[in-house]
Structure 1
Amino acid sequence: MVRRTETLSRFPLFGSLGADEIAALDSRCAWRRVAAGASIIDHQDDGTDVFFVVQGHVRVLIRQPGGQNIILRDIRDGEFFGELAAIDGRPRSAGILAMTASTVARMPAAVFRDAIHRHPGVCDRVLGLLAAQVRMLATRVTEFSALNVRHRLYAELLRQSRPDPADAGRAIISPPPIQTDLAARISTHREAVSRELAALTRAGLIERRRGALVLTSPGHLRQLIEEAYAAG
């Protein structure tokens, strides 16, 4: 019997479905806890199931031959992964690592595809999410091809930031980003990130606050990125 906390009812993807339809999907999922640090799926695995993060934080990454990881994105409560393999049947395009202890629901590809075909609301949300991923990856490819490490770091800091509630002209990243994670997101090494963060601090463009990194002038960082694109 599916426990009350183990349900897909809180997932925006299924917001258009009724209680009975949600319950039917719940019954077709396998629910499990995943320990922090555990690999959920590996890059190039042959599985086609879709995974829903009921609770926790997982990371999408690709491990390079030299052992370095490229971080693509993070997935948290109410989000899902594995849909590409469920749609096209090809090997996994990336690996998934549990960053915290997480609860996930594993749905067979056939059930996921049936939900898409039966429910237009589900179909529209999947299409919207896929379009957003394509746009995000296109942006990342453009940054890698046109920007140096410095300006890729600026772009990543802006991507992770949110408006500062206390000052509309500033933005914050909370919790503050880990330098090794920033390096993995922009395809460089930690030392380069540390050097550029120090330069931003000296220039007064970032400040450290307890539990957060503050971007003091996001607009100026965007201008620097635009100038780098124009110069390239």
Structure 2
Amino acid sequence: MSRPMQPSSLALRGIDLLQGLSAQRLDEISRQCAWRHFDASQALIAREQGDRDLHLIAAGAVRVTSYSSGGRETSFRDLAAGTCFGELSALDGLPRSADVVALKSGLLASLPAAHFRTLLQQEWTVTERVLLKLTDMARGMIDRVVDLSTLSVQQRVCLELLKLAQSGEGIGNVARIDPAPRHADLAHMVSSYREQITRELSALARAGVVEKEDGALVVRDLDRLKRIAARPSAH
């Protein structure tokens, strides 16, 4: 459950959007925010919700996701401490376009939309960062639509594993993803079903491309994983 707390400009120093602002400016923004702790798995905002604040993640991590009318979940991105979410509704005043759920417990600072727009008018560096973030989001959505339209589930799974491998440990043609991604989480990321993900990972394991080891997923052949990702699935 959310727990309100006192403002803290110190916690805002790690927010990428606010980097370079003076201590006085951060103090002002801190006082404008509503502060609250949140717990893992807690729903922070819901699609079509009336909330219009910009939410700054001072600590913890969240997942931006959405659910179809049938309950199927599609995840868009995970956000760590130092980032923010809610820019779209804060800018255009329309209802939320996605759900946000906490992955790890943390601390949230919620800046009202009016104060956010004033900040954009007064601080060009913040405005530029918001524009670049929105541009990045748009490009990411275009890439996702293209992937869903042209790639098989097998290819999308391989591409997601390659992304995870880039942030994990690796030597040469081998990479370690620790902990191993949950099948349900992979399904959400590639817009598929958990059962299909299980089949694809089993096929990769039989082919010697991946292997479970001590709670991690080890990619034994990155080059082969890339080749599979580049060609259509055979089934």
TM-score of the aligned structures, taking structure 1 as reference length: 0.91
> CA shift at 1:166, angstroms?
4.7
For the residue of structure 1 that corresponds to 2:63, the secondary structure is strand
Runs of at least 5 residues in structure 2 that lack an aligned partner in the other structure: 1-5
Counterpart of 2:100 in structure 1 is: 96
Counterpart of 1:227 in structure 2 is: 231
| Contact 2:175 2:220 (C-alpha < 8 Å) held by counterparts | yes
| Contact 1:59 1:98 (C-alpha < 8 Å) held by counterparts | yes
For the residue of structure 2 that corresponds to 1:57, the secondary structure is strand
Q: 188, 197, 206: which is aligned to 1:193?
A: 197
Runs of at least 5 residues in structure 1 that lack an aligned partner in the other structure: none
Counterpart of 2:119 in structure 1 is: 115
Task: Give runs of aligned pairs for residues 65-144 of structure 1, distance below 5 A.
Answer: 65-144=69-148
| Alignment deviations for residues 73-101 of structure 1 (CA, whole Å, 9 cap, x no partner) | 11111111000111111111101111222
| Contact 2:8 2:30 (C-alpha < 8 Å) held by counterparts | no
| Contact 1:163 1:170 (C-alpha < 8 Å) held by counterparts | no
2-side partners of 1:163 and 1:63: how far apart?
A: 27
| Contact 1:116 1:122 (C-alpha < 8 Å) held by counterparts | yes
2-side partners of 1:89 and 1:113: how far apart?
A: 11
Task: Give runs of aligned pairs for residues 211-222 of structure 1, distance below 5 A.
Answer: 211-222=215-226
> CA shift at 1:127, angstroms?
1.4
2-side partners of 1:138 and 1:68: how far apart?
A: 21
Q: 206, 218, 226: which is aligned to 1:202?
A: 206
| Contact 1:172 1:213 (C-alpha < 8 Å) held by counterparts | yes
Counterpart of 2:3 in structure 1 is: none
2-side partners of 1:174 and 1:36: how far apart?
A: 20
Q: 64, 70, 76: which is aligned to 2:68?
A: 64
> CA shift at 1:4, angstroms?
6.7
Cα pair distance change 1:122/1:172, threshold 3 Å: farther
- In angstroms, what is the RMSD of aligned CA positions? 2.0
> CA shift at 1:103, angstroms?
1.1
TM-score of the aligned structures, taking structure 2 as reference length: 0.89
> CA shift at 1:177, angstroms?
0.5
